[in-house]
């Protein structure tokens, strides 16, 4: 195995970020275009419900794929699978740009069948992308994992910027419309107030084509990471189950180092062993050439794993299950500008938090627990606001708007 550079390559980091922009990019684009789609499809405001049900159903494919990989992992080519997901997602969103407005009569009802079918296929590809892309990151140093999460968060930031340039989410203009009835001319004509949304700067078709191009760039970055020699030097060999494949000497050195760490060896001895025996075995010196698979699992107690799993599960539940479902009820009473600001800042906060872990990463379970506790308090406040909607506390005040946005 070729030795790896000890430093973090900025170029590799950037390519890993671009590569990991692709997961869920297509569906995120569809969701951001929803304010335009609901006014141009026969499903109207029922369209988000249809799409949500289909996406959640498609997530079962990720479970099926994980089971197949667990039992037949050696038969699944990693690079070919990634290329298939990227190419299919790019082609699907590109086709969607030209057929999203086509309708079909089913049971005497007009339906956007091409739109729903292609979005379902996007759901399958996006569900598979995370369970395929994440194991691929085992080829790189663990410090590049933050790039994985930055990329996953950046996709929404990029789409938010594009949708903002397009004009999605602009406040409507309320105008009075006169209702002409069959009555005498001396009677006062009734009127109604309707919302007139401004036309977007560019069409839905152009938006979807831009999304397809971005996914293609992710495929190009994967090609560079996987086949260009400069980047291959910074990869490590893993098998299809994610375990590092080391030579016999490398495996013995790693096991000795772990054994000394478990027995409380001092830092100086650990450094000597790591820089001496491990580095010597990795330098290509003559010796045994047999390969050995080593599962480099961090040493942690069972309760520590349980606590961390609980914190991760709670954090995901708060964000994806609670905040997403009540955000409109909690923030919209303070105005559309406040709601749009809260949504856009939340999308920016995700990649920024992942990027900052490069420099400041919590290594204590107590710190992680404190961060989760703060997130729980903020979510509780949003739940309270949603329960009082449409007249939450501090409605119409700057303090109320600041609190809901910061939460």
Q: Across residues 46-75, what is the average pLDDT?
A: 83
pLDDT over threshold 50, residue 74: yes
Q: pLDDT at position 252, please?
A: 52
pTM: 0.70
pLDDT over threshold 80, residue 13: yes
Q: pLDDT at position 358, please?
A: 64
Residue 240 binned pLDDT confidence (cut-offs 50, 70, 90): low
pLDDT over threshold 70, residue 294: no
pLDDT over threshold 50, residue 70: yes
CA-to-CA distance for 383 and 172, rounded, in angstroms?
27
Query: Fold for domain 1-170+200-237?
Result: Growth Hormone; Chain: A; (1.20.1250)
Q: Across residues 280-296, what is the average pLDDT?
A: 46
Average pLDDT, the chain: 77
Q: For the chain, what percent of residues have pLDDT higher than 90? A: 18
CA-to-CA distance for 389 and 404, rounded, in angstroms?
13
Higher pLDDT: 176 or 239? It is 176
pLDDT over threshold 70, residue 213: yes
| Helix (H/G/I), strand (E/B), else coil: 245 | strand
Q: Across residues 107-116, what is the average pLDDT?
A: 88
- The rounded Cα 50 to chain-centroid distance in angstroms is 21
Residues 280, 112 contacting (CB under 8 angstroms): no
Report the range of poorest mean pLDDT among 79-93, 170-184, 363-377: 170-184
Residues 242, 76 contacting (CB under 8 angstroms): no
Report the range of poorest mean pLDDT among 89-103, 233-247, 378-392: 233-247
pLDDT over threshold 60, residue 44: yes
Residue 182 binned pLDDT confidence (cut-offs 50, 70, 90): low
Q: pLDDT at position 206, please?
A: 94
Q: Across residues 170-198, what is the average pLDDT?
A: 66
Domain ranges of the chain: 1-170+200-237, 244-294, 300-407
Closest by CA to 135, choosing from 87, 73, 75, 88, is 73
Report in angstroms the alpha-carbon separations of 365 from 21, 142, 362: 29, 19, 8
Q: Of 44-48, 86-90, 247-251, 316-320, which one has max mean pLDDT?
A: 86-90
CA-to-CA distance for 406 and 12, rounded, in angstroms?
33
Residues 247, 1 contacting (CB under 8 angstroms): yes
CA-to-CA distance for 158 and 77, rounded, in angstroms?
30
Residues 30, 119 contacting (CB under 8 angstroms): yes
pLDDT over threshold 50, residue 289: no
Q: Across residues 232-246, what is the average pLDDT?
A: 60
pLDDT over threshold 50, residue 97: yes
Q: pLDDT at position 288, please?
A: 44
pLDDT over threshold 90, residue 85: yes
Report in angstroms the alpha-carbon separations of 386 from 82, 209, 331, 382, 383: 41, 36, 8, 6, 5
Q: pLDDT at position 283, please?
A: 44
pLDDT over threshold 80, residue 371: yes
Q: pLDDT at position 218, please?
A: 94
CA-to-CA distance for 266 and 174, rounded, in angstroms?
72
- The rounded Cα 209 to chain-centroid distance in angstroms is 20
Q: Across residues 163-175, what is the average pLDDT?
A: 76
Residues 378, 181 contacting (CB under 8 angstroms): no
Q: Which residues pair with 216 in a beta bridge?
A: none
Residue 249 binned pLDDT confidence (cut-offs 50, 70, 90): very low
Element (H, E) at 246: strand 244-247
pLDDT over threshold 90, residue 272: no
Residue 122 binned pLDDT confidence (cut-offs 50, 70, 90): very high
Q: pLDDT at position 278, please?
A: 43
Element (H, E) at 370: helix 365-387
Alpha-helical runs (H) found in 144-285: 145-166, 204-227, 229-232, 248-262, 267-273, 279-282
Report the range of poorest mean pLDDT among 23-32, 268-277, 292-301: 268-277
CA-to-CA distance for 61 and 127, rounded, in angstroms?
7
Q: pLDDT at position 259, please?
A: 54
Report the range of poorest mean pLDDT among 222-236, 291-305, 387-401: 291-305
Residues 118, 55 contacting (CB under 8 angstroms): no
Residues 240, 69 contacting (CB under 8 angstroms): yes
Angle at 67 between CA 63 and CA 72, to 5 degrees: 145
The Cβ of residue 165 has, within 10 Å, a number of other Cβ atoms equal to 12
CA-to-CA distance for 96 and 101, rounded, in angstroms?
9
């Amino acid at each position: 195995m070729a030795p790896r550079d000890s430093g973090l390559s900025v170029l590799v980091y950037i390519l890993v970020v671009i590569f990991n922009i692709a997961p869920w990019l297509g569906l995120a684009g569809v969701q951001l275009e929803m304010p335009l789609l609901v006014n141009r499809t026969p499903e109207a405001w029922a369209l988000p419900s249809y799409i949500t049900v289909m996406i959640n159903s498609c997530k079962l494919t990720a479970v099926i794929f994980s089971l197949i990989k667990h039992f037949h992992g050696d038969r699944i080519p990693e690079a070919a699978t990634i290329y298939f997901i990227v190419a299919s997602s790019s082609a699907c969103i590109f086709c969607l740009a030209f057929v999203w407005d086509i309708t079909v009569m089913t049971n005497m009802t007009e339906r956007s069948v091409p739109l729903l079918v292609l979005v379902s296929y996007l759901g399958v590809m996006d569900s598979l992308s995370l369970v395929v892309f994440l194991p691929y990151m085992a080829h790189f140093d663990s410090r590049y994992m933050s790039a994985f999460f930055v990329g996953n968060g950046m996709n929404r930031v990029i789409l938010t910027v594009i949708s903002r340039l397009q004009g999605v989410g602009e406040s409507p203009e309320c105008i009075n419309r006169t209702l002409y009835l069959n009555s005498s001319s001396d009677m006062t004509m009734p009127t109604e107030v309707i919302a007139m949304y401004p036309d977007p700067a560019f069409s839905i078709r152009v938006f979807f084509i831009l999304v397809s191009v971005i996914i293609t760039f992710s495929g190009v970055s994967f090609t560079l990471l996987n086949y260009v020699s400069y980047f291959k030097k910074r990869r490590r060999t893993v098998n299809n189950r994610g375990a590092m494949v080391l030579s016999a000497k490398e495996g013995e050195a790693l096991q000795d180092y772990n054994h000394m760490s478990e027995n409380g060896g001092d830092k100086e001895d650990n450094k000597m062993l790591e820089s001496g025996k491990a580095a010597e075995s990795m330098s290509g010196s003559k010796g045994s050439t047999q390969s050995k698979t080593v599962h480099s699992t961090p040493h942690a107690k069972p309760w520590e794993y349980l606590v961390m799993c609980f914190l991760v599960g709670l954090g995901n539940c708060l964000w994806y299950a609670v905040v997403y479902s009540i955000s409109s009820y909690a923030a919209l009473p303070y105005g559309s500008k406040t709601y749009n600001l809260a949504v856009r800042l939340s999308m920016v906060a995700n990649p920024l938090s992942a990027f900052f872990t490069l420099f400041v990463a919590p290594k204590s379970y107590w710190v992680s627990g404190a961060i989760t506790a703060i997130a729980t308090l903020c979510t509780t406040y949003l739940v309270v606001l949603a329960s009082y909607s449409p007249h939450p506390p501090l409605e119409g005040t700057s303090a109320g708007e600041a609190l809901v946005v910061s939460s």
